[in-house]
Chain A
Amino acid sequence: GEDVEQSLFLSVREGDSSVINCTYTDSSSTYLYWYKQEPGAGLQLLTYIFSNMDMKQDQRLTVLLNKKDKHLSLRIADTQTGDSAIYFCAESITGKLIFGQGTTLQVKP
């Protein structure tokens, strides 16, 4: 079946790197996504990776995909207080998105 798992909470200090992890079960996923949700707002796409890629870098964001272990991670370099939010990973299966539970990132000054 389709299942996406994330840890619920991560706390880091401003300036440190944050790594948010995600595991998924369906190997037929074509795309994997990271969305960000700020308080009181809807979700906003941060980045995505096609399933035949291992890594994608976009400014402070690095996505790593280990397809063998079905493991996806999002690294945020030089984390800022404005990065405090809930981060969702999602896999795309036949056009539908299956979301994880969301990881709340707390950035301490």
Chain B
Amino acid sequence: DVKVTQSSRYLVKRTGEKVFLECVQDMDHENMFWYRQDPGLGLRLIYFSYDVKMKEKGDIPEGYSVSREKKERFSLILESASTNQTSMYLCASSFVREGGEQYFGPGTRLTVT
């Protein structure tokens, strides 16, 4: 079974803090994705990566950066957390770029106070 794990289920941070969200997949997938989920807005793509050390901006990259130093690990970084980044963050991975299933982690609910 494919497993995508995220470092925390719940996280509370203060405004201005640097926040790291970690995602690890165990199926040797090339492709990894970070989304945020907000009620009434669905999932919005923040960043994605098709290979190690490679990253591409999604639809809402402002205020975020990512790191992919190893194939299995994709990190989302909030350089200076703000209250409007309070959200559910979902990581996903996939084997094929087009037409394949994206496997999702359980999500990290981040609250910025």
Contacts and interface: CB of A to CB of B under 8 A. Distances in A.
A42 B98 contact: no
Interface of A: 4, 6, 8, 30-31, 35, 40-45, 48, 50, 88, 90, 92, 94-102
A87 B37 CA distance: 13
A97 B45 contact: yes
Contacts of B50: 95
B90 interface: yes
Question: How big is the B interface, by class?
Answer: 20 to 34
B111 to A, nearest CB: 16
B61 interface: no
Contacts, number: 56
Contacts of A35: 104
Given A43-B90, A88-B42, A97 B98 contact: no
Interface of B: 4, 31, 33, 35, 40-45, 48, 50, 58, 90, 92, 97-99, 101-107
A101 B104 contact: no
B102 A97 contact: yes
Contacts of A45: 101-103
Contact of A94 (B44, B90, B92, B98): B98
Contacts of B42: 4, 6, 88, 99-102
Nearest 10 A/B pairs, CB to CB: A42-B104, A95-B97, A99-B43, A99-B42, A101-B42, A43-B104, A45-B101, A42-B106, A95-B98, A31-B99
Given A92-B99, A95-B97, A101 B90 contact: no
Contact of A30 (B43, B90, B99, B106): B99
A11 B99 CA distance: 31
Contacts of B44: 99
B55 to A, nearest CB: 14
